[in-house]
Amino acid sequence: MADEHASSLEGHAGAEHHGSVWPFVIALAGGVGFAGVITYFPFAFVGLGLLAFGVGGWLWQDARGVRFGDVTHSTEPGMFRDVSIRKLGMWLFIVSEIFFFSAIIGNSLALRARAEYWPSPGVDSPLNIPLTAVNTFMLIASSFTMVQALKGIERGNLRNFRLALLATLILGATFVSIQVYEYNKLFFFEHLTPWKNSVAPQLATFGTTFYMQTGFHGAHVTGGVIGLAYLNYKAWKKDWFTPKNHEAVELVGLYWHFVDIVWIFLFPIVYLI
């Protein structure tokens, strides 16, 4: 793999390498797709096509053994000069996600403030607090195992790194599985739907905000689980991650901790208040 890596970058000898173009294509796909959803819907399909093209290109590049982990840049001279450009990029992405979730949670609170009826936790709410509390512990534990994985690779302890990364993946996948079970129970047995239904019409607004908030969070956790699965796969490759080259672990970890923070706010807002 190291040889493939070297050969893949031979063509760039002497020139500064700027990394893969595919994440940019994927970001463009997101922009076009979401713009299509709110303006001219067919553009959403253009976005989906671009997304498939970008993900395919990225996987194709990865399958050829091309990697950029040891191509590191500091940012331009200025106030962020002490920060790796990738880490800054991830933080800016997280900032955009904070905007996104702030809007969703704010919107849900506004709907709640105007709703005629809202179920009270432990009284007439269809939500299962003990089950979700277990799920919350899963996510907290996965944040702990994620930092243990980072600590392991920083210290060159591959065994701890791989075990902690695997534990994070299992905990994350368990969180998603429990959420799917919860959705199934609420949707089919408690008549909690994202739209108004004839059996429990009073839960219409509650259902809409519940599925919107937990659904978008669940989608983000699912994305994180896919990222963790990829990291686990790479972690078992010889010399892919080393104490000097493991920024991908740190960046996926930042994203994973962020989805944990979102849940830290969603759990009390949706289930306990």
Partner 1 sequence: MSMEPQTELKESGGLAKAAIETVKKPYFAVFVMLGVVTLFEINVPGLGAYGIPKIVQITMLIATSVAKATLVALYYMHLKYEPLVLRYVPLVPLGLVAILILALVVRK
> Which residues bind to partner 1, rule: CB under 8 A?
9, 12-17, 70-74, 79-84, 87-88, 91-92, 94-95, 98-99, 102-103, 105-106, 109-110, 113-114, 120-122, 129-130, 133, 136-137, 140-141, 143-144, 146-148, 151, 154, 253-254, 257-258, 260-261, 264-265, 267-268, 272-273
In this complex, which beta carbon is closest to partner 1, that of residue 157 or of residue 197?
157
On whether the CB atoms of residues 216 and 99 are closer than 8 A, the answer is no
| Residue 239: CB minimum distance to partner 1, A | 17
36 Cα distance to chain centroid: 22
Tell me whether residue 26 or residue 138 sits nearer to partner 1 (CB atom): 138
Whole-number minimum distance, CB 42 to partner 1, in Å? 30
**Calpha distance 30→147 (Å, rounded):** 29
Least separation in angstroms between residue 78's CB and partner 1 is 9
Residue 26 or 146: the one with the smaller Cβ distance to partner 1 is 146
Task: Give a three-class secondary structure readout of 169-221.
Answer: HHHHHHHHHHHHHHHHHHHHCCCCCCCCCCCCHHHHHHHHHHHHHHHHHHHHH
3-state helix, strand, coil in the chain (%, to 5): 70, 0, 25
Report d(CA 176, CA 120) in Å as an integer: 25
Sign of CA dihedral 4, 244, 221, 138: positive
Looking at beta carbons only, is 37 or 95 nearer to partner 1? 95
CB of residue 185 to partner 1, shortest distance in Å = 19
| CB-nearer residue toward partner 1: 125 or 193 | 125
Q: Closest separation between CB of residue 80 and partner 1, Å?
A: 6
Min separation Cβ 66 and partner 1, Å? 11
Residues 6+ positions from 206 with CB-CB distance below 8 Å: 112, 115, 117, 118, 119, 192
Nearer to partner 1 (CB atom), residue 197 or residue 245: 245
Tokens of 165: 């990364």
